[in-house]
Amino acid sequence: MSSNPVTNESPVYIDFSLERGDLFKASLQLVKRRLLIGVGIVVVVIAGLIYFFALIDELGLLLQLSPMFIGFPILGIAGQLLRIHATCRRYFLSLSESQRQISYMFSGTTEGYDLHHGDSFNHIAWTDVSKVVEQSMFFLIYRNPFAIHLVPKRGFHQDSDIPRFKSIVRSRLGNKCCLEP
């Protein structure tokens, strides 16, 4: 954590209404690496089977066995995508309309940031943040591997707020943030 806070800048306010698509896109980003590894394994296994059956000149047998060797792995990957979608949908529907209204306030002069969601208020200390990661459409604030706050870029009041937000985060977290320059 850096000891020179950003003191000359005004606070950055972020307000947005959480959408189901936000949750799904963020969830895909979080599991993308595991899904790609799974797809890679499936492709290697399928290519190996095709090669093996071509070597023994039994491609007809492969076509008979294709539902088992090709279809089931592909269904497994599709099943994981459907599971992520269903989980996001269930979570989103469990939130009341007021809980979907989220606002953040980041200031360079405080030891944390404020989070309002629904009728609740939280002050999260910077020491409780493990990292901040920037994606193309949002920021992910990790408190731990299981508690992640989603901050869509569309929630910033002005485009100039994004660099100020990044400056505050960098000054508070130092090397614990993965932000674009």
For 84-118, the DSSP string reads HHHHHHHHHHHS-TGGGEEEEEE-TTSSEEEEEET
pLDDT in the model for residue 6: 45
Kindly state the tokens that stand for 56: 């023994």
pLDDT in the model for residue 3: 47
Question: Which has the closest alpha carbon to 162: 143, 142, 181, 141?
Answer: 181
pLDDT in the model for residue 131: 93
pTM of the model: 0.76
Domain 12-18+97-178 falls under CATH 1.10.3470: no
pLDDT in the model for residue 1: 45
Blockwise average pLDDT, block size 10, the chain, 181 residues: 53 93 90 90 85 80 73 85 94 94 92 92 93 92 90 93 93 87 74
pLDDT in the model for residue 8: 52
